[in-house]
């Protein structure tokens, strides 16, 4: 008998020696997280007592000497001799790496992810650990250091009630820092108190002499309430389920009108920030149930084909707390992703319960269905917008001329292409534009006189091909109106004879090769002013922009005798950006002329006979004025 006793003793020592040699294997590391893992391991044993209905309050104390004390009102750790070790049960639990589970026939006792070895691991990694047990009408105590008992279990005094109190100081030989974070502990305690409805957790700080009590009678329902910051955002009453057959499951969720979502999942009261089998089962249950519900009722807007998991997730705030039997399997580097196949049972349980709830709460169900339909619609709309942008940027990369300063919007109706003469006009136009919807294409000098050019020659002309590429439609046989890239194509040339000539050449080109653009009202002429005239002096002076000599003369006649300052704009490039913007480009203040053809056969004639000859008559086919301009002298 004494033989086997010794062998067991050696095994026990070897066990905890292994923990001290490779603490990372048991608590993940010896940094900040590993240090706090010690607290979680001890805390979870007490929380388990509470979960199993044996404990109603827990006290957590940050002691002034750096120790942590965790005290619960549970049954108290057994004190009688343990048959397998021949030692008392406290010593057995705290000094034996594999003792935890053997004591425990409680179905759900799988705390801390260490499968019941937590107490001994914390003991092994603590320079000091004291256990006090109230049980059988007495208070008992035993102390340890680095995993080894420093005394034997002692009956101290008669005591009422039951419970366990554990105090420990992390070993500085193991941990580079043993400073606990109050915030991290506080946050964890509050979450635990949410997960165990009615459990009172008193958190005390002996250094700051502060304390805080966490007690949530409605548990995760209170948690949801806290997560939903703005209650007005809630679109329907929360769904709540507590299931306690074979598998234990507690779920609460609601949708808000916010686009963000928050899904918090837990297994055996341990957070699983990376989800896993249980969270997947939860998502599947929700998506399948709502997809069925919405599609059966034709609850989707036109053009939206189906409900996706992401649609269901939008605005969702959920807390999923599952309790699984046996050893949990975790996956990934941080072991925070559950990989237990048993969690798949969650899907049918939740699906059935949620379906029933939807059918029994039709107005809540309708509100939820609307919220998800909205998300689906937004998804389809944003995909369309994204596709549009992709198409546009793809086109831009592949085919748009380098000289084109494109706009950022892809909306055909709202966008404008300004065709300007020369690079200097291009530069100032770029400064003056609203880059969101206004694009600039500078063209060089006089473009080909298309009246005399063949289609072949035309296509080889760089200015023409840049223009056609920018507009997007192609021309001739390959003309495709649906590919038009701008709602307005605005010719903006200098207000002088050369400028007029270029404008005429461009109009001829549009008329001959892209007549649909004129017919459908896409072609415009900008009206840059020819003069800036300051009338009067000092405060009473004002500035007028005029568009022709005639207009200037009329103004001067009217303002006879007043001090006059005249500036002639030799070209667009000379105007500063604010002036160019307000006089010529800003839709709120500019004047542009819509080009239309009154009588096509006649206009044909006119082009034939007048091209390049009579400057004054060139624009007789300009009919529609975007804004009233009395005398158009160009
Ligand atoms: C094993 C068996 C029993 C209780 C406990 C362990 C226990 C462990 C801890 C750790 C912290 N607080 C705790 N409270 C209880 C059940 C003993 C019985 O049947 O009375």
Same domain (yes/no): 514, 535? no
Strand residue runs (E) in 339-485: 416-421, 438-443
The three-state secondary structure class of 504 is: helix
**Residue 459, pLDDT above cutoff 50:** yes
Q: Is residue 7 included in any domain, yes or no?
A: no
More confident residue, 412 or 102: 412
What's the structural domain count of the chain?
Answer: 5
Query: If you average pLDDT over residues 456-461, what whole number do you get?
Result: 72
Confidence of residue 116 (pLDDT cuts 50, 70, 90): low
* 420 shares a domain with 349: no
Residues 306 and 334 in one domain: yes
- For a ligand 1 pocket test, name from 46, 49, 60, 101 the mutation site with the most ligand atoms within 8 angstroms of its C-beta: 49
User: For residue 631, is pLDDT > 70?
Assistant: no
Task: Give the residue-averaged pLDDT of 540-565.
Answer: 88
Least confident residue range of 264-273, 345-354, 570-579? 570-579
| Residue that is last in its domain, among 184, 214, 244 | 214
Other beta carbons within 10 angstroms of residue 513's beta carbon come to 18
Q: Is 27 a member of any domain? A: yes
Q: Per-residue confidence at 630, pLDDT binned at 50, 70, 90? A: very low
103 lines ligand 1 (CB under 6 A): yes
Q: What are phi and psi of 487, to 5 degrees?
A: -75, -35
Same domain, 207 and 121: yes
What value does the mean pLDDT take over residues 376-394? Answer: 72
Residue 472 lies in a domain: yes
pLDDT at position 133 is 98
Chosen domain end from 564, 587, 614? 564
Do 206 and 300 have their domain in common? no
Q: What is the mean pLDDT of the chain?
A: 86
* 469 and 581 within one domain: yes
d(CA 502, CA 446): 6
Q: Are residues 582 and 458 in the same domain?
A: yes
Q: What's the pLDDT score for residue 98?
A: 73
Same domain, 479 and 584: yes
Domain extent for 538 = 530-564
Mean pLDDT of 81-104: 81
Instruction: Using the atom order of ligand 1, give the atom closest to the CA of residue 55.
Output: 14
Radius of gyration of the chain from Cα atoms?
41
SS3 assignment, position 454: coil
More confident residue, 13 or 194: 194
Ligand 1 centre distance from Cα of residue 579 (Å): 84
Residue 331 pLDDT exceeds 90: no
Residue 1 included in any domain: no
The answer on pLDDT for 420 being more than 50 is: yes
Q: What confidence score (pLDDT) does residue 159 get?
A: 97
**CB of 116 shorter than 6 A to ligand 1:** no
State percent of the chain over pLDDT 90: 57
Which ligand 1 atom is nearest residue 72's CA? 12
Please give the residue that has the higher pLDDT: either 173 or 465: 173
> Does residue 45's CB lie within 6 angstroms of at least one atom of ligand 1?
yes
Q: What is the pLDDT of residue 110?
A: 42
Is the C-beta atom of 164 inside 6 A of ligand 1? yes
Stretch 183-208: mean pLDDT = 97
What's the pLDDT score for residue 496?
A: 79
528 lines ligand 1 (CB under 6 A): no
Residue of higher predicted confidence among 471 and 609: 471
Q: Are residues 367 and 244 in the same domain?
A: yes
Burial degree of 357 (CB within 10 A; 0-12, 13-18, 19+): middle
- When comparing pLDDT for 553 and 133, which is higher? 133
User: Is residue 3 a part of any domain in this protein?
Assistant: no
Asked if residue 501 and residue 548 are part of one domain, the reply reads: no
| CATH code: domain of residue 165 | 3.30.565.10
Query: pLDDT value at position 391?
Result: 52
Q: Domain ends where: 363, 389, 415?
A: 389
Name the one residue in this structure whose structure tokens are 């006189």. 449
Q: Is 78 in the pocket of ligand 1 (CB under 6 A)?
A: yes
Q: Are 490 and 475 in contact (CB under 8 A)?
A: no
| Same domain assignment for residues 290 and 361 | yes
> Do the domain assignments include residue 552?
yes
Q: In whole angstroms, what separates CA 15 from the centre of its chain?
A: 47
Q: What is the CATH number of the domain that holds 286?
A: 3.30.230.10
Could you tell me which residue, 143 or 608, shows the higher pLDDT?
A: 143
- 518-540 burial, b if ≥16 CB within 10 A, otherwise e? beeebbbbbbbbbbbbebeeeee
Domain membership of residue 28 (yes or no) is yes
pLDDT(453) > 80: no
Q: What is the pLDDT of residues 507-544, one digit of tens each?
A: 988 988 898 999 889 999 998 888 999 998 888 888 89
Predicted pLDDT of residue 600 = 61
- For residue 319, the CA-to-ligand 1 centroid distance in Å is 28
Mean pLDDT of 561-580: 87
Q: Per mean pLDDT, which range of 149-163, 250-264, 454-468 is the poorest?
A: 454-468
Higher pLDDT, 125 or 339: 125
Amino acid 444: pLDDT: 84
- The answer on pLDDT for 169 being more than 80 is yes
User: Does the pLDDT of residue 208 top 90, yes or no?
Assistant: yes
Residue 81: how many CA atoms within 13 Å on its side-chain side? 4
Helices 346-360 and 362-399: angle between axes, nearest 10 degrees: 110
Nearest ligand 1 atom to alpha carbon 70:
11
Is residue 196 domain-shared with residue 255, that is, in the same domain? no
Average pLDDT over residues 279-301: 94
């Amino acid at each position: 008998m004494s033989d086997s006793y010794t062998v067991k003793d050696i095994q026990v020592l070897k066990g905890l020696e292994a923990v001290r040699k490779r603490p990372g294997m048991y608590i993940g590391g010896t940094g900040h997280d590993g240090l706090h893992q010690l607290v979680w391991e001890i805390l979870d044993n007490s929380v388990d007592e509470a979960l199993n209905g044996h404990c109603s309050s827990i006290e957590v104390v940050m002691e002034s000497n750096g120790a942590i004390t965790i005290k619960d009102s549970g049954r108290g750790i057994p004190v009688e001799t343990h048959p397998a070790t021949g030692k008392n049960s406290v010593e057995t639990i705290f000094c034996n790496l594999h003792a935890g589970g053997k004591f425990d026939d409680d179905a759900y006792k799988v705390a801390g992810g260490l499968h019941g070895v937590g107490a001994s691991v914390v003991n092994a990694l603590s320079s000091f650990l004291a256990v006090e047990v109230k049980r059988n009408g007495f208070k008992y105590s035993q102390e340890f250091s680095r995993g080894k008992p420093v005394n034997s279990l002692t009956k101290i005094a008669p005591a009422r009630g039951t419970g366990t109190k554990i105090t420990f100081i992390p070993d500085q030989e193991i941990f580079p820092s043993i400073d606990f974070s109050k915030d991290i502990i506080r946050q964890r305690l509050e979450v635990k108190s949410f997960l165990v409805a009615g459990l009172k957790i008193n958190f005390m700080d002996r250094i700051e002499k502060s304390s805080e009590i966490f007690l949530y009678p409605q548990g995760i329902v209170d948690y949801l309430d806290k997560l939903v910051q703005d209650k007005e955002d809630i679109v329907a009453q929360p769904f709540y389920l507590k299931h306690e057959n074979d598998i234990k499951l507690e779920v609460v969720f609601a949708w808000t009108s916010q686009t963000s979502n928050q899904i918090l999942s837990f297994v055996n009261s341990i957070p699983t920030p990376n989800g896993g089998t249980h969270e997947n089962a939860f998502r599947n249950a929700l998506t399948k149930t709502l997809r069925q519900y919405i599609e059966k009722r034709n609850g989707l807007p036109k053009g939206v084909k189906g409900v996706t998991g992401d649609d269901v997730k939008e605005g969702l705030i959920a807390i999923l707390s599952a309790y699984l039997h046996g050893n949990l399997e975790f996956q990934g580097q941080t072991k925070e992703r559950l990989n237990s196949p048993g969690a798949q049972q969650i899907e049918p349980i939740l699906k059935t319960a949620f379906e029933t709830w939807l059918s029994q709460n039709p107005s809540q169900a309708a509100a939820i269905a609307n919220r998800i339909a909205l998300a689906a619609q937004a998804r389809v709309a944003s995909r369309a917008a994204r596709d549009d942008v992709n198409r546009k940027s793809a086109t831009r990369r592949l085919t748009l001329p380098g000289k084109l300063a494109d706009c950022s919007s892809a909306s055909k109706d709202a966008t404008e292409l300004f065709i300007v003469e020369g690079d200097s006009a291009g530069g100032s136009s770029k400064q003056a534009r609203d880059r969101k919807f206004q694009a600039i294409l500078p063209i060089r000098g006089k473009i080909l006189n298309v009246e005399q050019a063949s289609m072949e020659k035309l296509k080889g002309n760089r200015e023409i091909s840049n223009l056609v590429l920018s507009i997007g439609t192609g021309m001739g046989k390959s003309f495709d109106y649906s590919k038009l890239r701008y709602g307005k194509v605005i010719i903006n040339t200098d207000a002088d004879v050369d400028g007029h000539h270029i404008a005429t050449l461009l109009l001829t080109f549009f008329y001959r090769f892209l007549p649909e653009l004129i017919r459908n009202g896409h072609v415009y002429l900008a009206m840059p002013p020819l003069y800036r005239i300051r009338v009067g002096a000092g405060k009473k002076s004002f500035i007028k922009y005029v568009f022709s000599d005639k207009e200037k003369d009329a103004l001067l006649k009217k303002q006879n005798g007043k001090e006059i300052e005249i500036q002639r704009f030799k070209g667009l490039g000379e105007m500063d950006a604010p002036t160019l913007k307000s006089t010529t480009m800003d839709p709120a203040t500019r004047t542009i002329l819509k080009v239309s053809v009154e009588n096509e056969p006649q206009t044909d004639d006119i082009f034939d006979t007048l091209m390049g000859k009579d400057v004054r008559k060139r624009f007789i086919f300009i009919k529609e004025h975007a804004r009233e301009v009395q005398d158009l002298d160009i």
